[in-house]
Amino acid sequence: MNTICIMCPMGCGLKIEKVGEEIRVSGNTCKRGEAYGKAEFTHPVRTVTTLIKLEGGGVASCKTDAPVPKERVSDVVAYIGTLTIGRDAKIGDRLHASLDGLETDIVITGTPTSGC
């Protein structure tokens, strides 16, 4: 498997392969890249960033407070799409989401009044 490390702006190209029981990462220039490559190979996760509707129209930006399994990203986006929050929402406000075994908090990261 080939991918690009997204842990810093260097964007090292990684080659990840399983040799026996060992997962080998090459192309990284630091330990963070090795850890990222192994995680991408075994259990990739992503922080979800999207928009949430505001009462009366408009949107605020939000994100999950921690990465979620990559295969659950569409579930989280669909769930957030069903929500509407008050216009008094502030950056840092949290909503808890419980989605078929996945627990995560959604954090407001920008509102119309904050310039998002």
Return residues touching ligand SF4 (CB under 6 A).
5, 7-8, 10-12, 28-30, 32-33
| Nearer CB in complex with ligand SF4: 10/83 | 10
* C-alpha span between 113 and 30 (Å, rounded): 40
CA 95 to chain centre: 16
Residue 36 CB coordination number (10 Å): 23
Shortest spacing between CB 19 and ligand SF4, in angstroms:
20
Shortest spacing between CB 34 and ligand SF4, in angstroms:
7
Q: Are 28 and 51 in contact (CB under 8 A)?
A: no
The residue number with the shortest CB distance to ligand SF4 is 33
Which of 80, 79, 81, 106 is closest to 94 using CA atoms? 106
| Nearer CB in complex with ligand SF4: 10/66 | 10
| Nearer CB in complex with ligand SF4: 40/60 | 40
* C-alpha span between 27 and 11 (Å, rounded): 10
| Nearer CB in complex with ligand SF4: 12/108 | 12
- The DSSP element (H or E) to which 42 belongs, if any, is helix 31-42
Shortest spacing between CB 20 and ligand SF4, in angstroms:
24
Shortest spacing between CB 65 and ligand SF4, in angstroms:
22
